[in-house]
Structure 1
Amino acid sequence: MLFIVKENHDISSLLEKIRMASASYKVVDIYGKRIVIAWPDNLVENIEDISIDAKIRVRKPYYLVSNEWKSGKTIVNVGGVEIGGSRIVVAAGPCAVEDEDILMEIAKAVKRAGASILRGGAYKPRTSPYSFQGLGEKGLKILKRVSEAVGLPVVTEVMDTRDVELVKSYADMIQIGARNSQNFTLLREVGRAKIPVLLKRGFGMTVEEWLLAAEYILSEGNGDVVLCERGIRTFEKSTRFTIDIGGMVIAKMQTHLPIAADPSHPAGNRDLVEPLALAAIVAGADMLIVEVHANPSKALSDSEQQLTVEMFEKLMKRLKAVAEAIGRSI
C-alpha cells in the first residue's frame, strides 16, 4: 500500500497507526512527493490519517516502479539530455576506455553522427580474470576530459559499492551491468547516490526480477532509472545472447520508467547490431547504447561486436528514418 503524504504534513501519527497494525513500512522521498510504503496490504488498508493525500493499492510487487500510482512517464535527465520523451537517445562509444587519443577520436565521430551520450567502461566485469579489466580511475579521468572537450555527458559502469562515489564524481550516469543487476547492496548504494542509473537486465532474469531490481534503487529515493534490455541467455548459440524484444515491451507496459536497449551484447557480431537496434526502436525503446570503436579489430574487449565509425554513421541514418516513421526523432 502506498500512502501519498500531503505536502508539509507531519507523518508521525500515520507511522504510529502502521506500527499499531503490526505492519512494516518505509518512507521514501521521490518525484517531489513523500511516500509511505506499508505492507502487507491487508493490515493497513483501513488506515486513515489527516496526513494522507492519496492511498493506492499497487497490485505489482514493485510498488514505486509500477505505473499504477504515477501518472505519466518519467523523464530522466542526463547532463541535459532527456531520456523518455519523444526523442530517442543514442549513447555510443567503445566497450572499454583504452587510450585518451582513441576515445577522443571515437567521441567526436559518434557526436557528429548524432549520438547524445558517450559510453565507455573504466571498470570491466570480465568472465576471465586474465582479460582486460579496464583502467579504473585513470579511465574515469580520461572519460571526464573527453566528455568536457567534446560536449557529451558520460555513462559508465560501477561494479563495487566502494567505487560509487568515485564514479559519480566523474560520470553523468552510472551503469549497473548484467552481472551486478541483482547485487542488492550495490543497487541500494546507487539509489542513495542520487545520480541517473542505467540498469541492465541480467542474462538470467525474468522481467519481474528486473523491475524488482529497479525497485531497490527507487526505494532509496532515486527515481532517475533507465531500464536496459541487453539480451538473455537461452539455448540459442548463433547469437551471443537473445535480445528479448517481447520482454522489453512488457517492461515498458508495466512501468513509468524509460526503456533502453543494448543491441551490441546480444549480437556478439557487428553485422547483427543494426537489425537488432532497428527492431528495438520500432518496439518502443527510448534509448540505445551502442559499442563503437575506431579500429574494432584492435579493441581490448568485445572486438567482434563493436561497430566501425562508418557502420555507426550508417546505423544512425537508418535509425533516424525509422524513428520518423513511428512519430519520434533522434
Structure 2
Amino acid sequence: MHRGIQASSFLPALLVALGLFLGGCGYTLQTRADLPFEAVSLGKIDNRTTEPKLQDRFNRLLAETLSEYGFLVTRSARYALEGEVTQFLLRPTVELSSVATQYEVIIRASFRLVDRETGRVTPVLADSPYITYFNSVGKLESVLAQKELSSRDALKNLSQAIVTTIIYSVPENFSSLLLTAQDIRNPGGLVLKLKAQQDPLSRYIMTRLSEGMRQEIENYSGSGLSEAFKGSLAGELNALLQGASLYEEGRFAHVPLTGETRELAARDPKSSDRVLLNRLLLQEAYPAEIAPYQKGRRQ
C-alpha cells in the first residue's frame, strides 16, 4: 500500500516536471485543441524518382507523424495533403584509399494542402531538399541497409517539417495570404499597368500569365471588368504567390519596399513564408490596386 501511494503521488509530479522541461527546451505538447483542424486525408504522393516504392514509405511516415501530433488521418477529411517526391540521390562524400566511407542521401519534395470544400491550395513544402549522412565501409549489403535507415531519417524529417508547417503556418495562409477577387480593389488600374508593361515587375508578371489571360489584358480598353475575369486574375496571381520568390533586386528597384519585406527577402524564405513574401511584394508594388495583408487581417 505504501508503495502504491508513493507511485500515485510521483506520477503527477513527473508529468509536471516533464512539461516544464519540454517547455524550457522549446518543445510544445500538442493537443487536438491546438490544431488548426482535426483531420487530414493523405492524397496521392507522386514518386518522380527511380527509387522504388519511395511514395509508400513516405505515406506511412506521414500518417505516423500526423498521428503523433494529434491529427486524425481519415479519407473523409476536408483537408487533403498531396505532393510529389522529385529527387532521391545517394552519393559518396568521403573516400579512403579510393573506397567510399561516407555517403549522403538527398530527398527533395513538394507538398500542398488542398481544401476540398473551397478548392484552395496552400503550399506546405516547396521543393525543399533534406539531407542525411551515413558511414559504411563494409559490403554492398551493409551499404544498402544503411541507405534504408538514412532514407527513413530523411523522410521522417520531411514529414515533421510538413506537419509543423501545417500547425504553425497554414491557418494564416487559408485566411488571408492568398488573393480573392475583392483583394484586387482596383482591377482596372492593375490591368492597365500590366498591359503597359512599363516596369520590370509588370513585364515579368505578363510572361507568367496564361495565354488567355494575357490576351484579355492586351485587349482591355478601360471598360468594366466582369466578376469572372476578376476571379480568374486573382487565381493566376495566386499561382505566382505560391511559386518561386518574385524578388529580384532589379525587378523591384522602382518599388519602395518596407524594411520588413526587405528583411524577409534577404532570408530567401521557404514554404509558407515565401507565399507571405510574394504577397507583400505584390501589394507594395501595386499599393493602389491590391489590398494589404497584415497579421491575418485584410485592411
TM-score (norm 1): 0.21
**Greater helix percent: which structure?**
2
TM-score (norm 2): 0.22
Q: Please tell me whether Structure 1 or Structure 2 has the larger radius of gyration of its CA atoms.
A: 2
